[in-house]
């Protein structure tokens, strides 16, 4: 299985979270328009800074079921790496 395309800690997707949810397809004649939704599907939610609006916007990407475990591991590793960098920076600043 090839690795996912986002491997850098700077990628905002690796600061996101994974959610399983049911969705509506949008077809007016479908059963999901009035009753039970489709799914559950797994999505990666993450925030991206929009320079035009000068604020963060919430984005989501569909994650294939076979990629969920790999993505969870990558998110956990990226968050741990960011935490270690933050702690090292705090220690450096405390030395002054």
pLDDT greater than 90 at residue 64: yes
pLDDT greater than 60 at residue 6: no
Mean pLDDT value across the chain: 87
The tens digit of pLDDT for each residue in 14-58 reads: 888 999 999 999 999 999 988 899 999 999 999 998 899 899 999
- Residues 6 or more apart whose CB falls under 8 angstroms from that of 1 comprise 66, 67, 70
The helix (H) or strand (E) run that includes residue 10 is: none
């Amino acid at each position: 299985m090839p690795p996912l395309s986002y491997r850098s800690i700077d990628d905002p997707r690796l600061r996101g979270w994974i959610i399983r949810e049911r969705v509506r397809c949008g077809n007016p004649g479908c059963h999901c328009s009035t009753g039970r939704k489709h799914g559950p599907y797994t999505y990666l939610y993450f925030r991206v800074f929009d320079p035009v609006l000068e604020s963060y916007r919430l984005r989501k990407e569909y994650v294939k079921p076979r990629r969920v475990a790999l993505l969870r591991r990558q998110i956990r590793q990226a968050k741990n790496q960011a935490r270690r960098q933050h702690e090292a920076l705090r220690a450096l600043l405390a030395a002054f």
